[in-house]
Amino acid sequence: MRKRKVRWRKILAVITLAAIGYIVYTAIGIARYSNVDETRVAGAAIVLGAGVWDDKPSPVFEERIKHAIWLYENNYTDILIFTGGTGEGKHYSEASVAKRYAMQCGVPENKIFIEEQSVITQQNLEYAAAILQEQDISSALIVSDPLHMKRAMLLANDYLPAQVYSSPTGTSKYTSFGAKAEFLAREVFFYIGYQFYRIPG
Which of 137, 78, 129, 85 is CA-nearest to residue 102? 78
Q: Please state, in angstroms and rounded to a whole number, the distance separating the CA atoms of residues 91 and 82.
A: 17
For position 14, what pLDDT does the model report?
A: 80
Q: Residue 192 pLDDT more than 80?
A: yes
Angle at 73 between CA 67 and CA 77, to 5 degrees: 80
Give the pLDDT band of residue 178 (cuts 50, 70, 90): confident
Quote the number of domains for the chain: 1
Which of 170, 181, 158 is CA-nearest to residue 64? 170
Is 19 contained in some domain? no
Length of the chain as a residue count: 201
Q: Residue 195 pLDDT more than 90?
A: no
Q: Residue 199 pLDDT more than 70?
A: no
Residues 101-139 have pLDDT tens digits of 999 999 999 999 999 999 999 999 999 999 999 999 999
For position 122, what pLDDT does the model report?
A: 94
For position 173, what pLDDT does the model report?
A: 66
For position 189, what pLDDT does the model report?
A: 93
Is 66 contained in some domain? yes
| Section 59-80 average pLDDT | 97
Q: Residue 71 pLDDT more than 80?
A: yes
Query: Can you give the pTM of this predicted structure?
Result: 0.90
Domain carrying residue 169: 44-173
Which helix (H) or strand (E) segment holds residue 49: the answer is none
Is 1 contained in some domain? no
Which of 140, 129, 181 is CA-nearest to residue 41? 140
CATH code at 160?
Answer: 3.40.50.620
Is 71 contained in some domain? yes
Is 190 contained in some domain? no
Is 24 contained in some domain? no
Is 11 contained in some domain? no
Q: Please state, in angstroms and rounded to a whole number, the distance separating the CA atoms of residues 44 and 78.
A: 7
Is 118 contained in some domain? yes
For position 187, what pLDDT does the model report?
A: 93
77, 44 contact by CB (below 8 A): yes
3-state helix, strand, coil in the chain (%, to 5): 55, 10, 35
